[in-house]
Amino acid sequence: MSHIGILLTGGPFDSQRWRTAYELGRAALDSGHSVSYFHYLDGAYVPVADQTLPACAENSLFATMPAELFEELIADGAEVLSCGLCVNARGIDAEADYPDGVEIGLLPDLADLVGEADRVISL
Protein backbone atom coordinates (compact mmCIF):
# COMPACT_ATOMS: atom_id res chain seq x y z
CA MET A 1 0.00 0.00 0.00
CA SER A 2 0.97 3.65 -0.39
CA HIS A 3 2.14 6.23 2.11
CA ILE A 4 0.17 9.49 1.85
CA GLY A 5 1.64 12.70 3.26
CA ILE A 6 -0.61 15.65 4.00
CA LEU A 7 0.68 19.17 4.67
CA LEU A 8 -1.99 21.29 6.33
CA THR A 9 -1.42 25.04 6.57
CA GLY A 10 -4.93 26.35 7.22
CA GLY A 11 -6.49 26.86 10.64
CA PRO A 12 -9.64 25.09 11.79
CA PHE A 13 -12.00 28.03 11.49
CA ASP A 14 -10.71 29.96 8.47
CA SER A 15 -11.46 27.35 5.81
CA GLN A 16 -12.51 23.77 5.27
CA ARG A 17 -9.00 22.61 4.40
CA TRP A 18 -8.72 20.77 7.72
CA ARG A 19 -11.89 18.84 6.92
CA THR A 20 -10.59 17.93 3.46
CA ALA A 21 -7.32 16.78 5.05
CA TYR A 22 -9.24 14.68 7.55
CA GLU A 23 -11.50 13.11 4.90
CA LEU A 24 -8.56 12.27 2.62
CA GLY A 25 -6.66 10.70 5.50
CA ARG A 26 -9.72 8.79 6.70
CA ALA A 27 -10.32 7.35 3.22
CA ALA A 28 -6.63 6.43 2.84
CA LEU A 29 -6.49 4.68 6.23
CA ASP A 30 -9.74 2.85 5.50
CA SER A 31 -8.19 1.61 2.24
CA GLY A 32 -5.11 0.29 4.02
CA HIS A 33 -2.67 3.11 3.23
CA SER A 34 -0.42 4.78 5.78
CA VAL A 35 -0.95 8.48 6.42
CA SER A 36 1.27 11.22 7.86
CA TYR A 37 0.18 14.78 8.60
CA PHE A 38 2.35 17.83 9.11
CA HIS A 39 0.49 20.81 10.59
CA TYR A 40 2.28 23.99 9.56
CA LEU A 41 1.58 27.70 10.02
CA ASP A 42 -2.05 28.10 11.23
CA GLY A 43 -2.53 24.38 10.68
CA ALA A 44 -0.91 24.05 14.12
CA TYR A 45 -4.25 25.13 15.59
CA VAL A 46 -6.18 22.20 14.09
CA PRO A 47 -5.26 19.48 16.63
CA VAL A 48 -5.68 21.75 19.69
CA ALA A 49 -8.05 19.97 22.06
CA ASP A 50 -10.98 21.58 23.88
CA GLN A 51 -11.69 24.16 21.18
CA THR A 52 -15.28 25.24 20.77
CA LEU A 53 -17.16 27.32 18.28
CA PRO A 54 -20.56 27.75 19.94
CA ALA A 55 -22.12 29.75 17.13
CA CYS A 56 -21.58 26.82 14.79
CA ALA A 57 -22.22 23.95 17.18
CA GLU A 58 -25.26 22.84 15.21
CA ASN A 59 -23.48 23.20 11.88
CA SER A 60 -22.63 19.67 10.74
CA LEU A 61 -19.10 20.76 9.82
CA PHE A 62 -18.37 21.55 13.47
CA ALA A 63 -20.63 19.01 15.16
CA THR A 64 -17.36 17.26 16.01
CA MET A 65 -14.34 19.49 16.56
CA PRO A 66 -11.18 18.97 14.49
CA ALA A 67 -9.04 17.66 17.36
CA GLU A 68 -11.53 14.86 18.05
CA LEU A 69 -11.39 13.70 14.44
CA PHE A 70 -7.60 13.81 14.37
CA GLU A 71 -7.53 11.77 17.60
CA GLU A 72 -9.51 9.10 15.71
CA LEU A 73 -6.96 9.18 12.89
CA ILE A 74 -4.12 8.78 15.39
CA ALA A 75 -5.92 5.85 17.02
CA ASP A 76 -6.21 4.26 13.58
CA GLY A 77 -2.49 4.63 12.85
CA ALA A 78 -2.00 8.07 11.31
CA GLU A 79 1.13 9.99 12.22
CA VAL A 80 0.32 13.59 13.20
CA LEU A 81 3.08 16.16 13.60
CA SER A 82 2.88 19.89 14.25
CA CYS A 83 5.68 22.32 13.48
CA GLY A 84 7.35 23.26 16.76
CA LEU A 85 8.20 26.78 15.58
CA CYS A 86 4.60 27.34 14.50
CA VAL A 87 3.32 26.00 17.82
CA ASN A 88 5.60 28.31 19.81
CA ALA A 89 4.85 31.35 17.65
CA ARG A 90 1.11 30.87 18.23
CA GLY A 91 1.37 30.40 21.99
CA ILE A 92 0.21 26.79 21.90
CA ASP A 93 1.35 24.69 24.87
CA ALA A 94 1.85 21.39 23.06
CA GLU A 95 1.91 19.29 26.24
CA ALA A 96 -1.29 20.78 27.61
CA ASP A 97 -3.16 21.69 24.42
CA TYR A 98 -2.57 18.71 22.14
CA PRO A 99 -4.12 15.28 22.65
CA ASP A 100 -1.88 12.24 23.06
CA GLY A 101 -0.30 11.18 19.82
CA VAL A 102 0.29 14.61 18.31
CA GLU A 103 4.04 14.99 18.00
CA ILE A 104 6.13 18.12 17.61
CA GLY A 105 8.47 18.29 14.66
CA LEU A 106 10.50 20.75 12.63
CA LEU A 107 11.00 21.38 8.94
CA PRO A 108 13.47 18.48 8.58
CA ASP A 109 10.56 16.24 9.62
CA LEU A 110 8.47 17.76 6.84
CA ALA A 111 11.34 17.09 4.43
CA ASP A 112 11.40 13.45 5.59
CA LEU A 113 7.63 13.18 5.07
CA VAL A 114 7.95 14.56 1.53
CA GLY A 115 10.82 12.21 0.76
CA GLU A 116 9.18 9.09 2.20
CA ALA A 117 5.58 9.54 1.03
CA ASP A 118 4.40 8.13 -2.27
CA ARG A 119 2.14 11.16 -2.68
CA VAL A 120 2.01 14.49 -0.83
CA ILE A 121 -1.07 16.68 -0.68
CA SER A 122 -0.72 20.31 0.39
CA LEU A 123 -3.80 22.06 1.74
- What is the CB-side half-sphere exposure of residue 92 using CA atoms within 13 A? 29
Tell me the residue range of the domain where 68 lies.
3-122
The predicted pLDDT at position 50 comes to 84
3-state secondary structure of 122: strand
- Predicted model pTM: 0.91
pLDDT in tens, 108-122: 999 999 999 999 999
Choice between 68 and 58, residue whose per-residue pLDDT is larger = 68
The CATH number for 81's domain is 3.40.1260.10
Number of domains in the chain: 1
